[in-house]
Amino acid sequence: MNALADYSARRDVSLSLVAEAAIASFLSPDAEERKEAAITRRLDQIDRRVQRVERDVGIAIETLALFVHFWLSSTPVLPESVRAEARAKGPQRYDRFVDALGRRLSKGPQLRQEIAANVPAAPPAGTDELPAR
């Protein structure tokens, strides 16, 4: 009740006028429509964020798959005589990789920002057709 009195004093209107306006707003049929519109806007924002996350995850998966395929195709198997030495250097090489990744993430732009949002699909393998625009 004090909040109602404070509000009416700040607005320099009577308590009954503030109460009447509050009750009218509460009982107004468009109040539900406003709530629904606000919820719809919020759901649309959430949907756009989820779509961006799905896109970013898709880019990450494809990037990893492409790298693994390239690495497995171009890296020869180590001879047995040097495998122990390579395993010993593994943690040190991994630490350098993590440092490089940290530098890349801190300086930007990130890969997902470098990739256009509307890249047309590639034509089927074995065709020389350009994708339709």
pLDDT in tens, the chain (133 residues): 788 888 889 989 898 998 898 888 778 778 788 889 999 999 999 999 999 999 999 989 999 999 999 999 999 999 999 999 999 999 999 999 999 989 988 887 777 777 776 666 676 666 655 555 4
Task: Render the burial of 97-120: b for 16+ CB within 10 Å, e for the rest.
Answer: eeeeeeeeeeeeeeeeeeeeeeee
Asked whether residue 91 is domain-assigned, the answer is: yes
Q: How many domains does the chain fold into?
A: 1
**Which pLDDT score is estimated for 133?**
41
Asked whether residue 111 is domain-assigned, the answer is: no
The span from the CA of 36 to the CA of 42, in Å, is 10
Asked whether residue 76 is domain-assigned, the answer is: no
Question: Which range of residues forms the domain containing residue 86?
Answer: 82-106
